Structure 1
Amino acid sequence: MVVNIHVSTPDSTLSTQITIDFPTNPDTINTQPVLYCQSNCSKNGFCVTNNATCSCFSKWTGSECSLPIQSISSIDPCTSSGGQVIIHGWFGDVHEDPSITIGNLPCSSPQFTSDTIVCQLGGGDGTKDVVITQNGVQVVFKNRFQYLNYNYPCLNDCTSPLHGTCNTTIGSCICKDSWTGFDCSLKSSNDTNGNNIPGSNSTVDTDTGETSISNENTNYLVGLIELVEIDVNGNEAKRTDLQSNWNATVKNSIYKFSKSYENLFNIVYTVEQIKEQLKEYTYAGIKLSIPKGGIKISVNITNYQYQSSLNTLQLRFLSTVKESDLNDCNNEESKSTTNIDPNLTLNYISIKKNKRIFSGRFINRIESDGRATFMSSEIVSSNSTSVIVGLNLPFCKTCYIDPDFSVLVSPDFKACNKSREKWIIPVAVVVPCVGVALIIIIIVLLYKNYKYSIKEKLDFKLRVFNKE
């Protein structure tokens, strides 16, 4: 059978001719009924017509795509005495039999919208799980809530009252003159007591994004290594390498690295060198400072395509000491220490070598979709020369993180006298030579003074011997 088709437009008429061949035997025609999904997949997915099943969009699940896949992007917590809690995220439009539990306490009188939950929580402290139940589905978010605490301890209690005082609001030390470091235990390069304290310098690799912080012959390296997506059971769902192929721009000691991963997400990584003097800044509502010679890092991740809205991200940093030449009077083996506690505002790592201490500070806050919220850190691996830290990010469209690093000098640092190296070998050679010369001169003088008396004694002994 031939079918003529004419299509008219305001400008022209198109014509075509199609030939359709039908089988001579009707029994050979393969007919398959078209199946339809109930409720049109709630308009939250599309129907697979050959088996009448729904394929749901990313935020939905269930046989009819009617159940939201819930996620939490940030939480406005209450203080340790209890109070109102606001949870931001995605919770859908239908809320049957909703309830919230934080830790072991119910968060009472919950009010749900598609993107917020408001409820009242009793007093407590520390970090807690959040459990959301609605529409017959229960979801557990591990370690996502932390009570506000305005009396945080400082690292090592700032070493001594003579070194510094503790700002208990955030658990940060305020160091006195001649002292610096996160616990005020390290000598400042501005030491006024006559000590020659070397300062630190940094260089940035524009390909890898890796930063080297050096203090005389001791070098430390820090940089991003990977971004890992982790599922609800704590298993790796996806891993992305972050160690190469950055697009870099440099302006006024600020290095900006960026790249897009297969249009799945974008990441911007910034390194600021603190060259002139101590820098003060505010991040997630917390005021902090970085000493001269340190670096301030920020990472912004946008539009990451999660495999599930229950998954989270872990951003990993590598910090390591680079082997160097012998460092005279300050030689020592490297040693790493960590102070990671989810219940503290500030977490630290350090690597010590040759009386220099590399320190990294990680704030347990992240700006998630424009709101400051709790974030935990953990040690992925460590040894005497390196530490890998994982920052656990929530489910977010925009994640902004802001750690910092510095290299400072230990209080038992010795200012090696480099000029001594120039004269130690000549002196070692000259002193023995002068000594030998002095001995020879003394022998000669003694011989001259006493040679006649010695000669007379010898002559007398010979005469006596001859008489006998």
Structure 2
Amino acid sequence: MPNTLDVSLNQTLYFVRDFDPIQISGTNLGYGLDTSDNLTMIIPNTLFEFTPSNQSGTTTISFSKSKGYNKQITWMTDATFFDDYYSYGEFVFGIGILTLSGDFNLPESYYNVTFGANSPCVDIVITSSYLECKVLNHTATWSSPALVTVNSPLKSLLGVINLYVTSSVDSSPDLTTNGGDINLFGNYGVPKPGVKVSINQSPCTVKGYNGTWILCNVNGKLDPGPCRINVTINGFKYSTNKLRVVNATDPPNLCGSLPYCSGNGSCINGACECFTGYAGDLCNDLLQSNITIQPNPTSPGSTILSNSSSFNFNIASIQELDASRTVINELVTSGWQFNTSINGSLTTYRYELNVNITTANASRNDSLLVVVLLESSTEERTVPFAGQTYKYPPNSLKMTIEVLGWAYASTLNTLRVVMMTDSSGVQIDHCGQTQQAGYITDNDSDFRYLKVVKDGVVFFGRFLPFAMADGRPSSSLNEVINVTSTLSFIGLNLPQCRRCIIDPDFSVLIDSQKGGSCGVQTEKVWLIATIASIGGAVLIAAVVIIVLLVKRNKKNKEMKVAMSSKLQEMN
């Protein structure tokens, strides 16, 4: 007689922890007299226990082999693990992307993620090591910890993650007093309708827009100087005053008088691009090829030797500044891992900071990555950086500094990389006169050029006002922080960024100094000079320091020389 008993299961999909037994409930399941080998009766007819041999799978179990009471079941092991320490959220104009570190072995549909009290995190994407999801229409700040809840079939995991609000307007190549079409480069997130832009309260009509670029038009003139830019997207407003309107009528003022660039280069975009064999701000110095580069094996710095002269530099710290430019967090950069690689004519020295053994706030920045590359080639190279292209002469030393994952205390805070060198000893200029520390200054604290005299050697630095912030060109502020009797410090200021990159380089030159400037005619005196061509900022310092501060957006102004530096020593 055929079997007509209705055998049913309450469910056929089960989630387990490792190899825990699976309890199977249903009706008319029998008495366990003729079952599969790994199936055990707990309660007659209603509850059995199945012991899986694998962490996940599908199989057919039999409640009675002789009567053919067979059912197919599927099971999965819920090994979900959420590591909030290495997780973070990035918010741009109200839309946040959460990146949660851990172990997520189940398909996306079995996870539910909540941000804060009750904001769902949708569009979940999973790999074995992280879960990524999107939070919509949420104003994220650093004012309170960000709670995240991850629910899986068997687990409910809570964590507190760091937030990064990366809405930004980073740069504009055509922000001039003429107004008209203006390109604004920054981080604008997922494109949304209804984008609004204003510059100094003047409406800027949006003509084009994507995640990193806005093209808008100002109908009228703009006043020169610092400006306030407001961008509203998705109902969320971002405001910045770090950019400035330049005077469209200002002629190039960084190429000297005619012939521009001493006749040894071309004046491009108001700055000199030197011909092969020449360098310096006005291309008036010859490159010196007879040099030796000695990298420091314990910290990212180097000694550049030429004849009997040498130049040393190093990284001192990374500082977090608040809105008033007060240092609220400083990471002293000590303890580096070092290795060398050679690829043809290019030699690379790589330094990686061991944050666990640094001396300041190490616990807060355990997820921080700081990498410094020193590169030297025997051949001339052309390398792009921050949307522009730079030429590096043979035997120059190019430095790339990358800071990734700084844990900011506030959305208003920024970073500053501080570099240092020794500045001891009496300095004599080419006229035989003892020099005092001096600065050529105007009302701006930003500078592009730095001149240093040490032990009869002249060091020259060129500071470009660019850096890379989260993959986008950004403006940077270069400043002299302090000069003491033994050390000198210069800082590169960056906007808030998760991944920040600066890109300096060093070359040795022959600087021709003629005696006519001493008031009497003398023979030509040759000094060895080092040039630092910097995509962000770097320290080149000694007792004799002349900082050529360039006010970017105004006509040439009379500068005042402030001799005998009165800067207080850093604490």
The structure-2 alpha-carbon separation of the partners of 1:226 and 1:156, relative to structure 1 and needing over 3 Å to count, comes to farther
The structure-2 alpha-carbon separation of the partners of 1:384 and 1:306, relative to structure 1 and needing over 3 Å to count, comes to same
Matched residues, percent identical?
18
Match of 1:273 in 2: 376
Match of 2:391 in 1: 289
Match of 1:301 in 2: 403
Cα distance, 1:323 vs. partner? 5.0
The structure-2 alpha-carbon separation of the partners of 1:272 and 1:240, relative to structure 1 and needing over 3 Å to count, comes to same
The structure-2 alpha-carbon separation of the partners of 1:91 and 1:188, relative to structure 1 and needing over 3 Å to count, comes to closer
The structure-2 alpha-carbon separation of the partners of 1:283 and 1:135, relative to structure 1 and needing over 3 Å to count, comes to closer
Matched, 1:259 2:356: no
Distance 1:348 1:186 in 2: 15
Match of 1:33 in 2: none
Match of 2:227 in 1: 128
CA contact (8 A) 2:299 2:335 kept: yes
Structure 1 unpaired stretches of 5+: 1-5, 16-38, 45-55, 191-198, 417-468
Distance 1:339 1:133 in 2: 40
Q: How does 1:64-103 map to 2 (within 5 A)?
A: 71-72=167-168, 74-80=170-176, 81=178, 82-89=180-187, 100-103=197-200
Matched, 1:380 2:481: yes
Cα distance, 1:347 vs. partner? 1.5
User: Please, which of 205, 223, 235 is the counterpart of residue 296 of structure 2?
Assistant: 205
Distance 1:101 1:297 in 2: 38
1:314 partner amino acid = R
TM-score (norm 2): 0.51
Cα distance, 1:157 vs. partner? 4.5
The structure-2 alpha-carbon separation of the partners of 1:162 and 1:183, relative to structure 1 and needing over 3 Å to count, comes to closer
Q: How does 1:391-402 map to 2 (within 5 A)?
A: 391-402=492-503
Match of 1:359 in 2: 460
- Per-residue CA deviation, residues 329-353 of structure 1 (Å, 9 max, x unaligned), is 9976566666799999981212113
CA contact (8 A) 2:316 2:333 kept: yes
2:174 partner amino acid = C
CA contact (8 A) 2:141 2:411 kept: no
- Per-residue CA deviation, residues 375-399 of structure 1 (Å, 9 max, x unaligned), is 2222212368754222221222222
Q: How does 1:103-252 map to 2 (within 5 A)?
A: 103=200, 105-109=202-206, 119-121=216-218, 123-124=221-222, 127-132=226-231, 140-144=239-243, 152-154=252-254, 156-157=256-257, 162-175=262-275, 180-189=279-288, 199-251=290-342, 252=346
Cα distance, 1:311 vs. partner? 1.7
Distance 2:445 2:382 in 1: 21
Distance 1:278 1:333 in 2: 37
Supply the RMSD in Å over aligned alpha carbons.
5.0
Distance 1:340 1:164 in 2: 27
CA contact (8 A) 1:253 1:272 kept: yes
CA contact (8 A) 1:377 1:389 kept: yes
Distance 2:483 2:429 in 1: 27
Cα distance, 1:114 vs. partner? 8.5
The structure-2 alpha-carbon separation of the partners of 1:200 and 1:157, relative to structure 1 and needing over 3 Å to count, comes to farther
User: Match of 2:242, SS?
Assistant: strand
CA contact (8 A) 2:445 2:479 kept: no
Distance 2:283 2:485 in 1: 23
Cα distance, 1:113 vs. partner? 8.5
2:170 partner amino acid = S
Distance 1:290 1:385 in 2: 31
CA contact (8 A) 1:154 1:166 kept: no
The structure-2 alpha-carbon separation of the partners of 1:383 and 1:236, relative to structure 1 and needing over 3 Å to count, comes to closer
Cα distance, 1:299 vs. partner? 1.2
1:296 partner amino acid = K
Match of 2:75 in 1: none
Cα distance, 1:297 vs. partner? 0.9
CA contact (8 A) 1:70 1:310 kept: no
The structure-2 alpha-carbon separation of the partners of 1:223 and 1:105, relative to structure 1 and needing over 3 Å to count, comes to farther
Distance 2:424 2:418 in 1: 19
Segment drifting more, 118-127 vs 355-364: 118-127
Matched, 1:312 2:403: no
The structure-2 alpha-carbon separation of the partners of 1:402 and 1:386, relative to structure 1 and needing over 3 Å to count, comes to same
TM-score (norm 1): 0.61
Cα distance, 1:9 vs. partner? 3.9
Match of 1:408 in 2: 509
2:497 partner amino acid = C
Matched, 1:347 2:452: no
1:266 partner amino acid = L
Q: How does 1:327-338 map to 2 (within 5 A)?
A: 333=434
Match of 2:559 in 1: none
The structure-2 alpha-carbon separation of the partners of 1:273 and 1:383, relative to structure 1 and needing over 3 Å to count, comes to farther
CA contact (8 A) 1:284 1:367 kept: yes
The structure-2 alpha-carbon separation of the partners of 1:155 and 1:384, relative to structure 1 and needing over 3 Å to count, comes to farther
Distance 2:207 2:141 in 1: 22
- Per-residue CA deviation, residues 134-193 of structure 1 (Å, 9 max, x unaligned), is 89987643424566979642254589765534413151242586x532223334448xxx
1:153 partner amino acid = N
CA contact (8 A) 1:280 1:287 kept: yes
Distance 1:156 1:383 in 2: 32
Match of 1:420 in 2: none
Cα distance, 1:100 vs. partner? 4.2
Cα distance, 1:238 vs. partner? 1.3
Match of 2:11 in 1: none
